[in-house]
Amino acid sequence: MDKKLKISFMKLDERAKAPVYGSALAAGADLRTIEAVEIKPQETVLIHTGLAIAIPEGYGGFIFARSGLATKRLLAPANKVGVIDADYRGEIMVPLFNNGSKTQYLDADERVAQLVFLETPQASFIEINELDETARNAGGFGSTGIK
């Protein structure tokens, strides 16, 4: 039985390529740019993939950096993690930020990010007057130590 999530997609541009997993157990499917792009230092450029997808209700699509692009070329999504809601049907775009000091160039069809699907249950919010206590309680950033 095939337990894979079925995601319908549409090419909005003839240059678009379907998302593809780089290995048999990859968590994210690679997204590609449809055009060559120049990204100057400390600049964000909106990268077009030419794809639209239909995410099933109860799931979200999350756009993460490609580790090689982020560590070797210092290019990563400007919003750190992009969120695609199940009811969005527009083009998937990736705002890539150049964290480096050199202009970076992407070729058309280059892999720019990875797309991961996760279950996203919606919560019911209930206002109360007091929260239950925990060992951490209101301890904030760094309150659990560094080791």
Domain positions in the chain are 8-119
Percent over 90 (pLDDT), the chain: 86
pLDDT, tens digit, 9 for 90 and up, residues 46-77:
999 999 999 999 999 999 999 999 999 999 99
According to the model, what pLDDT value does residue 120 have? 97
pLDDT band at 1 (very low <50, low <70, confident <90, very high): low
78: left (phi over 0), alpha (psi -120 to 50) or beta: alpha
Question: In the structure encoding, which two tokens stand for residue 76, read together?
Answer: 């990563």
Q: How many residues does the chain have?
A: 147
Looking at domain 8-119, does it have CATH number 2.70.40.10? yes
